[in-house]
Amino acid sequence: MSPDASPAGRADRDEPALRRLRDLVQQVRGIDLAVYKRSYLLRRLAVRQRAAGIPNLADYVARTAADPAEIAAFLHALTVNVSEFFRNPSLFRLLEEQLLPEQLAACARERRPFQAWSAGCATGDEVYSIAILLARLGLPPAGAELLGTDLDSEAIAVARAGAYEPGSLREVPAAVLQACFEPAPPPRSWKIRSPQAARIQFRVHDVLRAPPRRGQDLVLCRNLLIYLEPSLHETVLLHLAAALRPGGVLVLGRVERLSGAGRSLFEPIDLRERTYRRARGV
């Protein structure tokens, strides 16, 4: 095997093209690709190269430089939007039966609205799921301020539309489906009803930047850390902590854990469900 044919040889050969791609995306979209794990970045890049029919990386980068739509397509492939309503049902049972009632009681005592932020919300399924739980707990739309953010503008557009295919709704009970959704035109099947949508805003945001809102009662950031370089996990956790009120609840993904300063900023609630409480007095 020649040096250029080995994995190390291919990596050396592709490095200039990768640098050009990083520079291009940073210049055009303000996104630093260096924050992603290299192995993950290369896997998602290969997915987009296959879809575009351009196996040579240098040729693909030249294509992205000439076609802004291809940059958008690459970023959409990079931000894996795997989501569905009530994903991990046991977590949502914990939220409905314990954590949300506790937070709502605190909001009632302090006479303020309940606030929640879903960081990396993808197509919005998680945010609407929280809105449905709040409605089931008797909170009117005016009593909540919910925010969903994601780096992918295409995913945010889907979230704002609030229309979904059946696969996203497989964990939604039939009674909830009838009460909270209405039929949608193809290719979607169901659209969230306006009372649930009224309490939600969606926007494009990078979780590595300062939090878009502070004073949150609940922050969900599930399955986002696993795609980022470990050196950046502490930065994200500090931003999530800054977004929460003392005593507010953080939810991470099932395979994610606190690291660095995050260990002192949060107290565990249910480690199986990766739920934590923002420590008071720190």
> Domain end: 19, 53, 78, which one?
78
Whether 133 maps to a domain, the answer reads yes
Beta-carbon count within 10 A of 51 CB: 11
* CATH number for the domain that contains residue 154: 3.40.50.150
Whether 109 maps to a domain, the answer reads yes
Let me know whether 167 and 48 are in one domain. no
Whether 145 maps to a domain, the answer reads yes
> Domain end: 78, 109, 128, which one?
78
The Cα–Cα gap between 49 and 55 comes to: 6
Domain that holds residue 211: 89-278
Let me know whether 136 and 274 are in one domain. yes
**Which two three-digit tokens encode residue 151?**
């780096």
Let me know whether 157 and 26 are in one domain. no
* CATH number for the domain that contains residue 16: 1.10.155
Let me know whether 57 and 182 are in one domain. no
CA distances from 55 to 13, 35, 61, 66, 100 (A): 14, 24, 11, 17, 49
Whether 244 maps to a domain, the answer reads yes
pLDDT at 59 (0 to 100): 94
Strand partners, 147: 117, 201
pLDDT > 90: percent of the chain = 65
Let me know whether 54 and 181 are in one domain. no
Helices (H), the chain: 7-29, 38-52, 57-66, 68-78, 89-94, 100-110, 125-136, 153-161, 174-180, 194-197, 233-243, 262-265
pLDDT at 7 over 60: no
Let me know whether 174 and 135 are in one domain. yes
How many domains does the structure of the chain reveal? Answer: 2
8 confidence band (pLDDT: 50, 70, 90)? very low
Kindly report the pTM of this predicted structure: 0.82
Whether 84 maps to a domain, the answer reads no
Let me know whether 42 and 94 are in one domain. no
Say if residues 191 and 124 touch (Cβ distance below 8 Å): no
Render the burial of 136-170: b for 16+ CB within 10 Å, e for the rest. eeebebebbbbbbbbbbebbbebbbbbbbeeebbe
Whether 158 maps to a domain, the answer reads yes
Peptide bond before 187: cis, by omega within 30 degrees of 0?
A: yes
pLDDT tens for 244-265 read 999 999 999 998 999 888 899 9
Let me know whether 39 and 174 are in one domain. no
One-letter amino acid identity for 221? C
Helix axes 57-66, 7-29, angle to 10 degrees: 10
Whether 146 maps to a domain, the answer reads yes
